[in-house]
Copies of this chain bind each other. A is one copy, B any other.
């Protein structure tokens, strides 16, 4: 019953097999290998256009490298106040971006609304050169609350951003989990909706460590190789990163893995609802948030359940964490089984 993070799972079998297979013989280092070329072409296919791809070993790197490439040091990045880049990356975007400023905005379910974005753009425009002006928008798909932006929501946000000269980055650490929930193609939920650069995560979905930074306008990626290298994120035996992505993307493996994780979250949500613990936010990816009495916590933990509690200012209207309550985050992954999910819910009823 490990619901602590999708990072606590190991490597999906298809991906581990690919690492093993990639170990045959010699290959040029630093991304000059054939596997890397194939992954680059595969991503062009998946996104239905020429894209420029750079693989890095962590999501923090993928976010920070992408943001730094579209935001000048004197620019601001509009994003949700509880997004990963704000709360969990120890200032990586600021470091990579030469001191750029993350501007955290509110929004229920960790999603940004168009009105919120409009007000923020108005506020962080003008009064140059005194005020940091908004230069980019970062959207998390799926969000930290496990919610997802619909295609039309993305399009509206991106259109507004572009109309004011902002570039749009998407933190897609759980991009696959969002995609399989939407009735849309990868192209439709990214560049066709207006996303300029995507951090396309494989690690949380089942890779060892592999995240792709995808620029939908290859020209905008000029010198990204240098930026990645000097950040220490060009892996020398790059074939092993590429092999992970190749297996991840082959035969819809990534979609299958995400579907399983999401299905486990759905099952968990259903189970919890049935025992009177309805998730606080809609369960749309592989994250389930429930409010639990503190008294239940030790019981669950001693039964072997693992998870983290969270604070949030993004709860639905009228909801707050009571003094005897905790907001608990339950994460499912490709490795989660129906048995653990059912067992966890049963613990609540005993």
Taken together as a complex, chains A and B put the C-alpha atoms of A99 and B100 apart, in Å, by 7
Chain A binding site: helix, strand, loop or mixed by DSSP? loop
Whether the Cβ atoms of A64 and B29 lie closer than 8 Å is no
0/1 per residue, A52-81, Cβ < 8 Å to B? Answer: 000011111110110000001110000000
Most buried by B among A100, A233, A311: A233
Residues on B with C-beta less than 8 A from A22 are 10
Taken together as a complex, chains A and B put the C-alpha atoms of A300 and B335 apart, in Å, by 49
Whether the Cβ atoms of A100 and B91 lie closer than 8 Å is yes
Number of A residues near B (Cβ < 8 Å) is: 76
0/1 per residue, A89-111, Cβ < 8 Å to B? Answer: 11110111111111000000000
Q: State how many angstroms separate the Cβ of A192 from the closest Cβ of chain B.
A: 29
Residues on B with C-beta less than 8 A from A226 are 72, 74, 90, 128-129
Whether the Cβ atoms of A237 and B10 lie closer than 8 Å is yes
Q: Determine whether A151 belongs to the interface, using a CB cutoff of 8 Å to chain B.
A: no
Q: Determine whether A165 belongs to the interface, using a CB cutoff of 8 Å to chain B.
A: no
Please tell me which one of the listed residues B8, B25, B102, B129 contacts residue A27 in the complex, with CB atoms under 8 A apart.
B8
Residues on B with C-beta less than 8 A from A272 are none
Q: Determine whether A350 belongs to the interface, using a CB cutoff of 8 Å to chain B.
A: no
Whether the Cβ atoms of B95 and A60 lie closer than 8 Å is no
Closest to A84 in B: B130
Residues on B with C-beta less than 8 A from A237 are 7, 10-11, 203, 208-209
**7 residue pairs bridging A and B, Cβ less than 8 Å apart:** A10-B22, A61-B233, A90-B229, A129-B226, A208-B240, A231-B232, A232-B233
> Knowing that A7-B29, A10-B23, A72-B223 are A-B contacts, what are 11 other residue pairs whose CB atoms are under 8 Å apart, sorted by A's residue number?
A8-B26, A20-B20, A26-B306, A57-B235, A58-B233, A59-B236, A74-B223, A74-B230, A90-B230, A94-B94, A97-B99
